[in-house]
A and B are shown apart, each in its own frame.
Chain A
Amino acid sequence: MRRSKLIVSVLAVGLMALTGCGSDSLDTGEKKGGDVEATVDEEAAALVPQEIKDKGTLTVGTDASYAPNEFLAGDGKTIQGFDIDLFTAVAKKLDLEVEFANAKFDSIITGAQGGKYDVGVSSFTVNPERMEQVNMVSYFSAGTQWASAPGNPKDVDPERPCNATVAVQKGTVQEEEDLPAKIGACKKAGTPMRDPLVYTGQDQATAAVVSGKADAMLADSPVVAYAVEQSEDKLEALGDIYDAAPYGYVVPKDQTAMADALVAALKSLEEDGGYMKALEPWGVEDGAITDFAVNPEL
């Protein structure tokens, strides 16, 4: 038994050493954004339903794989991005705290319906199908953009990507609406396309193009712009941005009052300049909008 005690103590010492010696050398992402100053807007805060006021904290579901909108900081825990900065400021207007919970993108809407999250903030493009299930509060505008390796070695045409292996994130508008239409067109034209590589995280889809596993990817325009910038010449934007549509906060169907409160807070934030301050550090101010609304007309 002396021997096994020795093993246990060696393990214990090893573990203690490990906890002490973690390095942060790859923690390169210097924090760009940060807290946007915002004062409580009493009128907007009055719209918040009593039960949420009592709680004081909003639990927000977000998929932290979508840089620069929402992604993990170098410490592997903190979620950062323009969506995070903007929504934190919105909550401040309503005198609420926010707690962001990392989740898989395609689980956030069901999570909000089931009460797991009070709000879903994860670059959700507003579309009729989603508005049928939940209330959506528009706050930003983005389109779809393609990207490939520099010089587009496989000659991928975003209009007709029949010859390409395409990477895309699961549950996005691109995966559910955009690509299926193009795959159908290719099939009709007699040049069936290879099955796209569907990833649960956008970061994996981007990495697939960089490593050469996929020929091209498509995602929301700010995301592609940021990936091209960050990858340092390993990616190149392809073609133009198309299908511009608003992003919306996901609020459960029975929480219409909360959705109205979010619109009021966004308007108040836009008036005092906090809205642009949240967008600018991430280079996404092109997508700013002013007509915030619950379930906007498309």
Chain B
Amino acid sequence: MTTPPTAPGSESTVSSDGAGDSRPGMIEAVPVRHPGRWVAIAVIALLVAMLLNLFLTNDAFNWSFVFEAMFQSPVIEGLIRGTLLGTAGSMLIGITFGIVLAVMRLSANPVLSGVAWVFTWFFRAVPRLVLLTIMGALGVLYPDGLGLGLPFGEQLMNLFGISNDLTFATLDANQIFGGIIGGIIGLGLSEAAYMAEIARAGILSVDEGQNEAACALGMSNGLATRRVVLPQAMRVIVPPTGNETIAMVKDTSLLIGIPVSNELFFQLTSIGSRTYQTFPVLVAAVIWYLVICSVLMVVQSRLEAHFGRGFGTTPPGATDSGFKARMLSMVGGSK
């Protein structure tokens, strides 16, 4: 069988002549052309080249100083004891307290849900820098130290004419609210307000029937929440929680409001001020935050894969829609 020649560029050929008796020829498909995409790639390549050129040739970056500053011992100590410990501590408080608040908020008891609402309202409305500055100054309220004992113990004992005030330990309020502990409490409480909303959304995403079925099996409300509802809610809770953790890493730079100076950003900027190399230390801070957040993103995707089991989400790369496949399709080489 011979194929009649076709004019180049025509989309398809139906017949070679007007006779109409021959069968249509083979389709000579030409892939849809995307000249705009190639222009976009060229523009982006140019911009990337300009950026690399800036990074490599501008002396203000002073790369050797950037890496030297990144690994100074005060910076490393600030990274671990301020930034990482601060993030871990405040997320621990935030997640635990946030879940409690979410359960309270969904409770049938109007007092409990009201309290949870007021807490969320307050801590969502106060900016973190402002909150931390207030935390640092809280010692003003307890000039005689923070007593641990029965509430209103002093008043109670006065009633009975006894001079004991039922306080069995007194802590220095400035010690508690002053340092990293105050920072962790402040950031943790603020985080709890956000986590409460995230956990609430997660709990609401679990079908009511799950709870009913658990109750039908004879589970108590608490047991059903722990064994049936929360594990399923995790699928919805985990991704935004990862987001919040990454945001928290960045927010530890606000600890200076307390003020806590044993923290990554403060230590790097103070090296900058001491050596008059202000810009390279900022680059060093950016690199550190990028490294920490990249590691956290990997952890987050693993957690998501774990809690999302059985919901039809395929791991990235399993389908043909990956970066490589899409690039190949642009040059028409995808088979």
Contacts and interface: CB of A to CB of B under 8 A. Distances in A.
Interface of A: 1, 3-4, 7, 11, 15, 18-19, 21-29, 59, 64-65, 71-72, 74-77, 101-104, 107, 110-111, 114-116, 201, 203-204, 206-208, 210-211, 231, 234
Contact of B73 (A22, A65, A207, A211): A22
A23 B139 contact: no
A278 to B, nearest CB: 22
B170 to A, nearest CB: 13
Main secondary structure of the interface of B (DSSP, over half): helix
B137 A103 contact: no
B139 A115 contact: yes
Contacts of A116: 137, 139-140, 174, 178
For the side of the interface on B, what is the size category?
35 or more
Interface stretch (B9-17, B29-37, B264-272): B264-272
Contacts of B86: none
A169 to B, nearest CB: 12
A203 B71 contact: no
B211 interface: no
Given A23-B68, A115-B174, 5 more contacts: A4-B302, A23-B72, A59-B174, A116-B140, A204-B273
B1 interface: no
B19 interface: no
A77 B262 contact: yes
Q: List the 3 shortest-distance A-B pairs measured between CB atoms, nearest first.
A: A76-B74, A22-B73, A203-B273
A23 B262 contact: no
Interface of B: 68-69, 71-80, 84, 136-137, 139-140, 143, 174, 178, 259, 261-262, 267, 269-276, 278-279, 295, 298-299, 302-303, 306
A110 B137 contact: yes
Contacts of B270: 72, 76, 203
Contact of A207 (B77, B84, B276): B276
A18 to B, nearest CB: 5
A206 B273 contact: yes
A125 to B, nearest CB: 22
Nearest to A231: B276
B80 A15 contact: yes
Contacts of B278: 207-208, 210-211
